[in-house]
Amino acid sequence: MKHLVALLLFLCSTGAYAFSFQDFNGRCGDVKLFVGPVERNKLAVTDADDTGGYIVLDPLLIQTVSPQALTFIYFHECGHRVNGDSSLGYRSYNAEQKADCYAAKRFSGEYGEQTLNSVLSELVLINGTPRSINIWNCRK
């Protein structure tokens, strides 16, 4: 019985969404995707390597945000790759805005503005209102 309760709690805590690497395959060139711990206070990181770069998503992030929000965050990291921000260290606010705008345009183009709006509602607690307004304003 104890094991059954533990199993039910695990299933409830992870929700119905099962993360799949295939959902992201080829969606950012030849960038490789990993799941693993990232720097403190970050949800995801990207950097270059000898074979085209990689994106790392935090395992806790995968369990807590919706699949749409996860895709938006993936597109943001992809935006850093597209914009040539290859450094793992500090990135300027301008570089973050440009990656946000890449994600906003790409996401709204693929999923529509209404879905982008609901993702921003979900992420406003993480991103803050000014950043969410910037993302919304550069979606086109």
DSSP structural state of residue 22: G
Question: Toward Zn ion, which CB reaches closer, 12 or 125?
Answer: 125
E strands, the chain, are 27-30, 32-35, 44-47, 54-57
Question: Toward Zn ion, which CB reaches closer, 35 or 126?
Answer: 126
Among 99, 101, 103, 104, the residue binding Zn ion under the rule CB under 5 A is 99
Using the contact rule CB under 5 A, the part of the chain among 66-74, 92-100, 105-113, 131-139 near Zn ion is: 92-100
Question: Toward Zn ion, which CB reaches closer, 1 or 89?
Answer: 89
Alpha-carbon distance of 118 to 140, in angstroms, equals 17
Q: What is the dihedral of CA 113, 101, 135, 27, to 10 degrees?
A: 50
Q: Where on the chain is the footprint of Zn ion (CB under 5 A)?
A: 96, 99
